[in-house]
Amino acid sequence: MSNQNNNQSVVPNAREALDRFKMEVASQVGVSLKQGYNGDIAAKDAGRIGGNMVKKMIQQYEQNL
């Protein structure tokens, strides 16, 4: 299986902002990430990071309504 990412951003500059946001959330939940590939972290930790990212994005959206 190839390790090729076919996801395309609707907003090309969003990748850098999302990476910074991911690092910020990871530090808040106590998960240590490194720059680049982080496929070696536990699924539980990855879920905590992604779940908290979504939670914060929803909170931000609701505040802007």
Residues 6-19: pLDDT tens digits? 667 778 788 889 99
Burial class of 59 by CB neighbour count within 10 A (0 to 12, 13 to 18, 19+) = exposed
Q: How far is the C-alpha of 28 from the C-alpha of 54, rounded, in Å?
A: 14
Q: How far is the C-alpha of 49 from the C-alpha of 55, rounded, in Å?
A: 10
Residues 35-58: pLDDT tens digits? 889 999 999 999 999 999 999 999
3-state SS class at 18:
helix
Q: How far apart are the first and last CA of the chain?
A: 43
